[in-house]
C-alpha cells in the first residue's frame, strides 16, 4: 500500500496540494479533482476521527454523523495502525 502512495506522480500531487494557501483554494482544487461523494466521504471520516479521538462511543458517533459502524471501525483501525496521518491532522487542527 505504501508503495502506491510514494510514486513520483503521487509525490507531485501531494506537493501541489501543499502549495494551496487558503480554504477556498483547497475547495476549488478538491472539487475539480474529486467527486462530491469522495469529498463527502473524506469529510465524514475526518469528523469520525475527531469523535473517536474524544472517546465518544461508536453508536453515538454513528448517531451524530450518520456513519456506519463499519466506517467508524475502519477509521479507528487506521487511527491506531496507520501511518499517523489522522493523529497529525487532529493535532494540527486543534
With 90 as the cut, is the pLDDT of residue 4 above it? no
pLDDT at 94 over 90: no
pLDDT tens string 75-93: 999 999 999 999 999 999 9
Per residue in 16-71, pLDDT tens? 999 999 999 999 999 999 999 999 999 999 999 999 999 999 999 999 999 999 99
Q: Quick one: 48 and 3 in the same domain?
A: no
Reading the block at residue 80, the C-alpha cell is: 491506531
The pTM of the full predicted model, rounded to 2 decimals, is 0.89
Angle of helix 36-53 versus helix 58-65 axis, rounded to 10: 140
Residue 75: give the domain boundaries. 36-94
Instruction: Clarify whether residues 68 and 51 are in a common domain.
Output: yes
Angle between helices 36-53 and 69-81 (to 10 degrees): 70
In a shared domain, residues 58 and 71: yes
- The confidence score (pLDDT) of residue 2 equals 62
Q: Domain check: are 25 and 57 in the same one?
A: no
Measured over the CA atoms of residue 2, residue 7, residue 75 and residue 50, the dihedral's sign is positive
Q: State how many domains the chain has.
A: 2
Amino acid at each position: 500500500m505504501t508503495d502506491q502512495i510514494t510514486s513520483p506522480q503521487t509525490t507531485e500531487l501531494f506537493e501541489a496540494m501543499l502549495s494551496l494557501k487558503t480554504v477556498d483554494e483547497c475547495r476549488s482544487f478538491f472539487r475539480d479533482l474529486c467527486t462530491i461523494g469522495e469529498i463527502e466521504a473524506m469529510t465524514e471520516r475526518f469528523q469520525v476521527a475527531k469523535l473517536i479521538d474524544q472517546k465518544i462511543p461508536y453508536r453515538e458517533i454513528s448517531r451524530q454523523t450518520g456513519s456506519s459502524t463499519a466506517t467508524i471501525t475502519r477509521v479507528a483501525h487506521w487511527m491506531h495502525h496507520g501511518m499517523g496521518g489522522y493523529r497529525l491532522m487532529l493535532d494540527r487542527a486543534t
